[in-house]
Amino acid sequence: MGKATLYRRWSSKAELILDAIRTVKASVPHPDTGDTRADLVAILRGAVSRGLEPRSAEIGATLLAEVQRDPELAELFRQQFLAPRRLEAEQVLRRGIARGDLRPDIDCSLALDQVMGVVFYRQLIMGKPLRPADAETLVDQVLAGIASR
């Protein structure tokens, strides 16, 4: 495929990369079981499982390095890839607030960072990925801080 052909379909390198990522990285399920803990465990298990796939882990590490160097890619990645997934995950927390499972004063975005940030920190910084079995422990520890009393 020639460069001209590529640019007919994608207007920039960043758009091409983002489209490629979408085809490789499936969305993590965001269930609504009626149980906030179970929903969070399912989300976390899905993210951890995908992070354990060698190809996914390599793409994730490469992408994070690229978004530091390429502002256009960073903006597209955050708006078109991360934002929709974060909204779905934050909705899980909002449902938990509405059901009375979680305190009404929590910052949903920050609580989500607490849960998901550990996945990326362990994988990319420590080189010790979480195991799917760790999902329950992590969710329980975070919920201890944000659960209604």
Looking at the chain, list the stretches that DSSP marks H as alpha helix, in order from N- to C-terminal side.
3-9, 13-24, 36-52, 54-69, 71-76, 83-99, 108-120, 134-146
Q: How confident is residue 90, by pLDDT bands cut at 50, 70 and 90?
A: very high
At 26 the pLDDT is 58
Q: Average pLDDT in the 90-107 region?
A: 95
Q: Average pLDDT in the 17-43 region?
A: 79
Average pLDDT of the chain is: 84
Tell me the CATH number for domain 3-146. Answer: 1.10.357.10
Which pTM does this prediction carry? 0.79
Q: How confident is residue 112, by pLDDT bands cut at 50, 70 and 90?
A: very high
Query: Is 78:21 a contact under the CB 8 Å cutoff?
Result: no
Q: What is the DSSP letter of 148?
A: -
Question: 76 versus 92: which is more confidently predicted?
Answer: 92
Query: Is 90:112 a contact under the CB 8 Å cutoff?
Result: yes
Instruction: Break the chain into its structural domains and give their ranges.
Output: 3-146
